[in-house]
Every structure is written in C-alpha cells, then in structure tokens.
Amino acid sequence: MRAAVCHFYGTPEDLVIEDVDEPVPAAGQLLVRVHAAAVNFPDVLFIAGKYQVKIPPPFIPGNEIAGEVIAAGEGTPFVAGQRVAGTTFGAFAEQALLDAGQATLVPEDADFASAAAFGVTYRTAYHTLRSVAPVAEGDWVVVLGAAGGVGLAAVDLAVAMKARVLAAASGPRKLDLCRRRGAEATVDYDREDLKARIRELTGDGARVVLDPVGGSYSEPALRGLARGGTFVTLGYAAGTIPAIPLNLVLLKGICVRGMEIRTFAGDHPDEADRDVRELADMFAAGTVRPYIGARFPLAQIAAALRHVAERKVLGKVIIDVT
C-alpha cells in the first residue's frame, strides 16, 4: 500500500510517498481502507519533532480517518464493509489500523470527508465548551483563530449551544466564513485593537476565551475578558508560547485553564465519555457538520500540511486517499 512516511524530523516536504507493508489487525483492532484523512496542526509538529510527545522515525503521520472496514480482529463488534471513522496514528496511508474502541459508524447521510474532519478538532472544542469552561446559553464566547480547525469547530459548537460568539481571525475572508457559520460579532485581530473590540462588542461581558493560537493575541484577549471569566489555552499555532502577567489574573479574578485532547479522557473519563456521546448524537442528527476548506490527494500531502502550517486553512483540510 502507499503511505506518506516521515524518515527523519523535518518539514512537510521531507515526507516520502512510498510502498509499505499492509498492516495486520490484532485482537480488538480494525483494518480500514482509508477514504479520507484529516490534517491537523499537530501533524506538522510531529513531523518536525516538536510535539509534546515525540514519535521516533520512521513513522506514518496523521491521526484522523474515515473509511471502510477491510477486516476486523477478534473481539470487535464491527464487520467488513462497514463505514467507520476514528482517531489512530498512521492516517496518511491507503490502509490504517484503528482500535475498535476508537471507532464509530459513519451515518448514512454523511460523507467520508465530513466524518474524518469531525474528530479531533470538534472533541477539543466540545470538551472545552462543555467540561473545561462550561458555557451557558447567552454567554459571550471569544474564539481566537476562529476560521481554523479548532477555532471554527468552537464557533459551530458554541452557536449550537446557543452562546453568543465573537470570532477573532485575520482578514475579511476568514471573518466572513465565521459570520456565515453563526458568529454574532467578528474582530480582525491583525488590524483592530483586540482588547478594546472584545470589550466594546460584548459590553464588557466576555465569559470565555478559547485560544488555539497563542503568540501576541493571548494577552489582549485575556485583558478583554469580563471579571471572573475563563481563559482556555489550547495550542500555539502562531509559533510562540505567550507569557501572561499573573497580576491580570489576580486583579480580574480570571481562571486560566489548559485543555489537551491527548490527556483529557484519562484525566476526566466521565466527562469525556459524556461529551463524546453528545457529540456523536449531534453529528448523527446533522446538527453540526464540519466546514472543509481544502482537499488534496495523498500525493500532495506536503502541500496540505504546508497549507495548515502557514495558517491558510479555512476549517479543515482533507486528504482524499482512495
């Protein structure tokens, strides 16, 4: 089978498309013919050896797939031919192994691309909005990087939860998309005073900030929070980890929290199970569907990863594998 292989830490352009052995499912695993794989910013970090957890090369990157079951290992409830989606490692390949416990059936009215795109970013956003900084109907939620993968998922879900969304991003194209997805207000944080605009647009009532970007945007967004608000750091797509003056936290009674999808389920198993069930119900009902801004064939995996690395993406990027 063909796969994108990282032979050494480097750039997306260092990946090699080559033939590798087909994987064999063990007990509790599914062998899946991958139709679509989603690209996430951490994929770029894995390839560069800069993620919190390093995978020794050689490896096949990518961790969100949707496709058809080819074979099921002993002890799984799935059978060949079923359409499934889930999170694994080694997604950028024609075939991948998927733990049965991580697999869900793809609804009949959903395509493979939407199913692959709904995993990591929507779980990250929903865990944040539901469990980490619980959002109530009518709360103002500020989303940084609002047109990106996690950001647009947060916009979609906050709107579905009947919160009021202020979407912060760069440029009219991204902000127009956020408004079309239901954001009530928008800020171009490369051209406007982010702190001042948050206060003005929310009436000094922003309850939650979701920040998957970091860099120079974090502090003004935190300063724009209402007293007693919650700031959640989710990642650093801007490339810089910000240093927040703690006196701001003290003076405004702000709660600063972190949410990492890799460890959330282990730290909060009950909340994680509940959130995943609720998300699955929302997807099955068609309440939320991800926005797919770009699609690439497997042969152009480097271009897809570069698209994400340079923050050009709107919503999710999909690799059409087979």
Average pLDDT, the chain: 94
pTM over 0.85: yes
Please compute the mean of the pLDDT values over residues 241-256 and round it to a whole number.
Answer: 93
Give the per-residue pLDDT at 209. Answer: 97
Secondary structure of the chain in HEC code, one letter for each residue: CEEEEECCCCCHHHCEEEECCCCCCCCCEEEEEEEEEEECHHHHHHHHCCCCCCCCCCECCCCEEEEEEEEECCCCCCCCCCEEEEECCCCCECEEEEEHHHEEECCCCCCHHHHHHCCHHHHHHHHHHHHHCCCCCCCEEEEECCCCHHHHHHHHHHHHCCCEEEEEECCHHHHHHHHHCCCCEEEECCCCCHHHHHHHHHCCCEEEEEECCCHHHHHHHHHCCCCCCEEEECCCCCCCCCCCCHHHHHHHCCEEEECCHHHHHHHCHHHHHHHHHHHHHHHHCCCCCCCEEEEEEHHHHHHHHHHHHCCCCCCEEEEECC
- Domain borders along the chain are 2-106+291-320, 121-264
Strand 2-5 versus strand 16-19 pairing type: antiparallel
pLDDT digits (tens, 9 = 90+) for 61-88: 999 999 999 999 888 999 999 999 999 9
pLDDT band for position 50 (cuts 50, 70, 90): confident
pLDDT digits (tens, 9 = 90+) for 114-155: 999 998 899 999 999 999 999 999 999 999 999 999 999 999
Please compute the mean of the pLDDT values over residues 297-317 and round it to a whole number.
Answer: 91
Give the per-residue pLDDT at 172. Answer: 94
Give the per-residue pLDDT at 261. Answer: 87
Superfamily of 121-264 according to CATH: NAD(P)-binding Rossmann-like Domain (3.40.50.720)
Please compute the mean of the pLDDT values over residues 36-61 and round it to a whole number.
Answer: 91
Give the per-residue pLDDT at 262. Answer: 84
Please compute the mean of the pLDDT values over residues 185-207 and round it to a whole number.
Answer: 96
Please compute the mean of the pLDDT values over residues 199-206 and round it to a whole number.
Answer: 95
52 has pLDDT over 90: no
Give the per-residue pLDDT at 239. Answer: 83
pLDDT digits (tens, 9 = 90+) for 4-38: 999 999 999 999 999 999 999 999 999 999 999 99
Q: Do 121-264 and 2-106+291-320 fall under one CATH topology?
A: no
Please compute the mean of the pLDDT values over residues 34-57 and round it to a whole number.
Answer: 91
Give the per-residue pLDDT at 238. Answer: 82
pLDDT band for position 310 (cuts 50, 70, 90): confident
312 has pLDDT over 90: no
Give the per-residue pLDDT at 53. Answer: 83
Opening angle at CA 72, ends 67 and 77, nearest 5: 95
Do 188 and 175 touch, CB atoms closer than 8 A?
Answer: yes
pLDDT band for position 322 (cuts 50, 70, 90): confident
CATH architecture of 2-106+291-320: Alpha-Beta Complex (3.90)
Give the per-residue pLDDT at 112. Answer: 96
Give the per-residue pLDDT at 313. Answer: 82
